[in-house]
Amino acid sequence: MEFTYGLMIVIGLVTYVAWKKPELHAKLMLNPHQTVQQKQYWRLLTSGFVHNNPMHLFLNLFTLFFFGAAIERIFNVYFPQAGALLFILLFVTAVIVANVPTLIKHRNNPHYNSLGASGGVSALVLAFVLFDPLRDLCLYAIICLPGYILGAIFIVYSIIMGKRGRDNINHDAHLWGAIYGVVFVLLLRPSTIQTFIDSVF
């Protein structure tokens, strides 16, 4: 799907250029303290287009490749006149919304930084689960479970790890991106929740 591929190219290029220019990399990532104190609110969005290392970039683009294309196709079916626009809107707004709790939580910590497309990608994954809850999804090609089960595990895991805060991963962005993906779909097509319930139960 062309918009998914285009989005992947943009994210890859911005990340690569930022790696070559450390000052740009620092300016694009989300530093909540600077964002609030210097009113650099563009960081809420631009942080979704830069990554920490090649593996970080690969994992997000790999997931975007599958779920972005799937959501783009689904949106084109249900909203033929605006599917591509809604797909881009979902991703972009999800990146911003997923970063807001982090902005609030760490606004007084000048040393905290966050970056990566995970918030937007998480929104796409959970949006897909809402449309097709019984489709098996595989975690690292090892554990395969129906989407609604894996989605529930993902949300619970994100909540637990977000409270612990012991690793270098922004689990809050994963959680709120996922929740936003569900809300976005339900606002567009409320009947999706009934289809989801009928499929699962």
- Whole-model pTM? 0.93
Here the tokens at position 189 are 């097509």
Alpha helix stretches (DSSP H) within 38-191: 43-46, 54-78, 83-105, 118-131, 147-164, 171-188
The 3-state DSSP class for residue 145 equals: strand
For residue range 74-131, what is the model confidence (pLDDT) as tens digits?
999 999 999 999 999 999 999 999 999 999 999 999 999 999 999 999 999 999 999 9
Here the tokens at position 24 are 């740009």
For residue range 23-57, what is the model confidence (pLDDT) as tens digits?
999 999 999 999 999 999 999 999 999 999 999 99
Here the tokens at position 67 are 């779920």
Here the tokens at position 153 are 């595990």
- Taking a C-beta distance cutoff of 8 angstroms, is the pair 113, 35 a contact? no
Here the tokens at position 195 are 């289809």
